[in-house]
Chains A and B, each alone.
Chain A
Amino acid sequence: MIVLKWLFLTISPCDAAEPWQLGSQDAATPIMQGIIDLHHDIFFFLILILVFVLWILVRALWHFHYKENAIPQRIVHGTTIEILRTIFPSLISMFIAIPSFALLYSMDEVVVDPAITIKAIGHQWYRTYEYSDYNSSDEQSLTFDSYMIPEEDLELGQSRLLEVDNRVVVPAKTHLRIIVTSADVPHSWAVPSSGVKCDAVPGRLNQISILVQREGVYYGQCSEICGTNHAFTPIVVEAVPRKDYGSRVSNQLIPQTGEA
């Protein structure tokens, strides 16, 4: 029972970093799935090469031990082996490059028209999110700041240094365009589960496209040194079903437009 509980406790919050974590967080987007798959594919060949090289190394150390073989043969050249050990590793790295580049270029490819645009603006030291698709004038109708919850205000079960007061709510299974920028110094908008890490540069708009495949709460942290509170500017993305997103947005929109 204890073991079960322990298992589920470690499995359920896999969209945030956990203590002593070795692997990646669970993928929430096709991009992250691609990154994890590429990592595993490369690791298979990496282990093969590692074992092979270690075997050669240990064998050489064993057979040319000074007690075993006091006067080794003085062979310093070997054309065949030199050609082989040059061509072969370069072929291997070329074969690794093919899927790697395919993934890399697919990451910044905008294939379809996105359904919503969210602007993530980094500040020292909080984030502002603008949902401007529903604006009918230059007045912002749905904009909010997202601050970290300080340690003393945390409730039971919330993650330290990761929880924020206002989460970014996005619809799941929908193509999103996130425009990342900054108002002061460079920041970075990074959510490991969605395979996104995009620098927020003042005066520049960086676009990332994501498709969150499952509902959930995804945690990330600032990934560009942005000042003293760099460690205290987390990102929390909450993916909700599409219809919930619609009602959520219209609920937040109406009171604000009513005031104006």
Chain B
Amino acid sequence: MEDEIELKTAPADFRFPTTNQTRHCFTRYIEFHRCTTAKGEDSNDCERFAKYYRALCPGEWVDKWNEQRETGTFPGPL
């Protein structure tokens, strides 16, 4: 008997009420990284933002942004 998977994902956000969710994904990614800089890497408060952006952003985008953050060319406010 395998443990039942909990069905849970990023909630609907009133800032992004339209079909276009591009900003939703980008904002959640930024929020997570701002959160970790403010509260430290080990903080558990930021984990929910990570869950949100992972649910919303395509893996390819996240990889690209991670690379850009490492090289310092990330276009967003961190």
CA distance A219 to B70 in the complex (A): 42
Closest to A242 in B: B7
Question: Helix, strand, loop or mixed for chain B's interface?
Answer: loop
Q: Is B75 an interface residue (CB 8 A)?
A: no
Q: B residues within 8 A CB of A174?
A: 7
Which residues of the other chain, B, contact A179 by a CB distance below 8 angstroms? 21, 25, 56, 58
Tell me whether B40 is interfacial, beta carbon within 8 Å. Answer: no
- Count of B residues near A, CB < 8 Å? 29
Can you name 5 A-B pairs with beta carbons within 8 Å?
A: A116-B7, A132-B55, A138-B66, A183-B58, A207-B21
Give the dominant DSSP class at A's interface.
mixed
Asked if A26 is an interface residue, CB under 8 A from chain B, the answer is no
Partner of A130, one of B3, B24, B25, B59: B59
Q: A140 contacts B20, CB within 8 Å? A: no
Checking B4, B9, B20, B22 against A246 with a beta-carbon cut-off of 8 angstroms, the contacting residue is B4
| B63 partner residues in chain A, CB cutoff 8 A | 138
Please report B residues at the A interface, Cβ cutoff 8 Å.
Answer: 2-5, 7-12, 17-22, 24-25, 51, 54-60, 62-63, 66
Contact A208/B19 with A133-B8, A133-B9 known, Cβ cut-off 8 Å: yes
Residues of B within 8 A of A198 (CB): 19
**For A114, what are the chain B residues with a Cβ–Cβ distance below 8 Å?**
9, 12
Contact with B along A229-260 (1 / 0, CB 8 A): 00000000000001101110111011000000
Q: Which residues of A contact B51 (CB under 8 A)?
A: 133, 135
Instruction: Given A179-B21, A204-B20, A208-B19, answer yes or no on A117-B55 (Cβ-Cβ < 8 Å).
Output: yes
With A108-B19, A205-B21, A247-B2 as contacts: A138 and B54 at CB distance below 8 Å: yes
